[in-house]
């Protein structure tokens, strides 16, 4: 879990020059959500396939082929969906911006009244309220930005869709490949491995817990709670898939 700043560091970071520089640099998009989403989903879906195939009684070669197919196919699908989702949000924001610019051009007094009401609800009144409206509406870009954030609830800054997609795909493939390691070892090693599904279960459980625990570093929540929550969700998905595989094992063979 990240350590809080010391009092001296806190004071230094709130000096006028430091504040000005931090605001000029702008907000930095976090790709933690994309990594956690990809890692957990990749591990869950791959282990679910491993569980289903193992439950049906197939050998390690089949497990590996189906697992790799899931990693590449579903991983790319998730990355593409993430990319398109973020692009859609960007396009929506651009559309809203154009609409607000048109409204300001056609009916500035009505748009000023919206700014007035926004800041009235924030507690401004009288001369202070009118001064705020005057300052905000003196700059069209600032005017539109205010309308986007306060009227539509749109964030002005957002993640890069390509970076988000790559983060999702990389996490999906890298962490999602862990459930296959035991089966790959059994398939490649001359001495084999007794009960690879048991080893896969142990490795996957550790991966679930580690991803959840790592997430807690960024959100300042107890690492053991986040780890156990992720482990529980993954175990439920894997258990259902294993039961499905066991139920239909007679049909498959």
Provide, rounded to the nearest whole percent, the portion of the chain with pLDDT above 90: 43
Q: What is the dihedral of CA 79, 75, 48, 211, to 10 degrees?
A: -70
Query: Could you tell me which residues come within 8 angstroms of residue 13 by beta carbon, excluding any fewer than 6 positions away?
Result: 5, 19, 22
Could you tell me the residue range of the domain that residue 170 belongs to?
A: 30-92+160-252
pLDDT digits (tens, 9 = 90+) for 177-197: 999 999 998 888 877 778 888
In a domain, 129, yes or no: no
In a domain, 136, yes or no: no
Q: Tell me how many domains the chain contains.
A: 1
pLDDT digits (tens, 9 = 90+) for 4-46: 556 666 566 667 776 566 555 555 667 888 988 898 888 888 8
Q: Taking the model in full, what pTM does it have?
A: 0.77
In a domain, 22, yes or no: no
In a domain, 73, yes or no: yes
In a domain, 236, yes or no: yes
Position 1 scores a pLDDT of 45
In a domain, 39, yes or no: yes
In a domain, 24, yes or no: no
Position 195 scores a pLDDT of 84
In angstroms, the Cα distances linking 121 to 24, 114, 146 are 28, 11, 14
Position 114 scores a pLDDT of 94
In a domain, 231, yes or no: yes
More confident residue, 127 or 23: 127
């Amino acid at each position: 879990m990240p350590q809080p700043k010391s009092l001296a560091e806190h004071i230094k970071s709130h000096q006028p020059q430091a504040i000005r520089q931090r605001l000029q640099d702008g907000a930095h998009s976090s790709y933690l959500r994309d990594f956690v989403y990809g890692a957990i989903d990749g591990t869950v879906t791959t282990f679910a396939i491993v569980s289903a195939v193992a439950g049906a009684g197939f050998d390690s070669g089949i497990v590996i082929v189906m697992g790799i197919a899931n990693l590449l196919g579903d991983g790319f699908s998730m990355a593409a969906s993430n990319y398109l989702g973020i692009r859609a949000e960007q396009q929506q924001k651009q559309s809203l911006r154009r609409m607000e610019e048109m409204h300001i051009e056609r009916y500035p007094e009505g748009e000023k009244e919206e700014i007035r009401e926004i800041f009235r609800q924030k507690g401004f009144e009288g001369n202070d309220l009118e001064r705020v409206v005057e300052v905000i509406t003196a700059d069209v870009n600032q005017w539109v930005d205010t309308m986007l954030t306060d009227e539509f609830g749109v964030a002005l800054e957002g993640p890069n869709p390509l970076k988000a997609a790559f983060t999702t795909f990389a996490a999906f493939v890298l962490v999602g490949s862990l459930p296959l390691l035991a089966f790959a070892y059994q398939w490649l090693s001359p001495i084999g491995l007794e009960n690879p599904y048991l080893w896969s279960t142990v490795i996957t459980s550790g991966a679930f817990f580690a991803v959840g625990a790592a997430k807690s570093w960024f959100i300042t929540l107890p690492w053991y709670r986040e780890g156990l929550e992720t482990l529980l969700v993954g175990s439920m998905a894997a258990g259902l898939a294993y039961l499905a595989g066991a139920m239909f094992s007679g049909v498959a063979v």
